[in-house]
Amino acid sequence: MDGIADMGGTEGWGPALPPRAEEPVFPEPWQGRAFALTLLSIQLAGLNVDAFRHALERLDRTAYLADGYFGRWFNSAELMLTESAILAPTAISARALNLRGDQVEEPPIPEPAEPSGYAPTAEGSLRTLDTAPEFVVGERVRAKNMSPPGHTRLAAYVRGHTGVVALIQPASVLPDTNAHFQGENPQYVYSVRFDSHELWGDDAESFALNIEMFESYLERTA
């Protein structure tokens, strides 16, 4: 889906800043707790990392941007827990009000949802395929111009544009189906090199951009 998370190629965000020297992983203690809570939420809800990414891209603009990087992780954890009926939709806001000294009745714990039945076929996301890759290194390919209604890792700013296969990566679980528990559907992953002018026009700064793309995202050029 095309959500707030698909920011690549859009304007108005300013330059990408380099990491600060000796920057801590978690500048504030709550950020480490948000990170741990998100990982726990994925396990409690019986989900996977692709379902977590789908939760991220479904956040509204405020929940995704205003609360910062780990703030959006926390918001996604809340979304996953409420959708899985582990938390009532108003449980966190009610608890926050009570911690501030207000007297608010907290909602009861909901009945647990049916488990998803999700079980990976192997550890990690890499898989082995018996078939050969559809494309070869050096071949010109086009990113399909499509807008899937569910989760996808096909960035909007490359859709419909052509590039060259620079490297063939091992096969991996397809996020588009894995996020919705529709099967792992492993596919080869290609590093495709795009020219900046192809993506953003003649006025763009000259550089090449390599993007990892699943096989079903690509098609041959005419």
Residues 3, 102: one domain?
Answer: yes
CA angle 6, 11, 13 (to 5 degrees): 85
Q: Which of 187, 151, 179, 183 is nearest to 48 (CA)?
A: 179
For 148-195, how does the pLDDT look when each residue is reduced to its tens digit (9 = 90+)? 889 999 999 999 999 999 999 999 999 999 999 999 999 999 999 999
Residue 122 lies in a domain: no
The total of structural domains in the chain comes to: 2
Residues 10, 109: one domain?
Answer: yes
User: What is the pTM (predicted TM-score) of this model?
Assistant: 0.86
Residues 43, 111: one domain?
Answer: yes
The HSE-up count of residue 133 (CA atoms within 13 Å, CB side) is 20
Residues 152, 99: one domain?
Answer: no
Q: What is the CATH number of the domain that holds 166?
A: 2.30.30.50
Residues 47, 156: one domain?
Answer: no
For 111-159, how does the pLDDT look when each residue is reduced to its tens digit (9 = 90+)? 766 666 677 888 899 999 999 999 999 999 999 999 888 999 999 999 9
Domain that holds residue 9: 1-117
Of the pLDDT bands very low, low, confident and very high (cuts 50, 70, 90), residue 197 is very high
**Mean pLDDT, range 89-112, rounded to an integer:** 80
For 15-38, how does the pLDDT look when each residue is reduced to its tens digit (9 = 90+)? 778 888 888 889 999 999 999 999
Helices (H) and strands (E) counted in the chain, each on its own, are 7, 5
**141 near 220, Cβ under 8 Å?**
yes
Residue 53 lies in a domain: yes
Residue 155: phi and psi, rounded to 5, are -65, 140
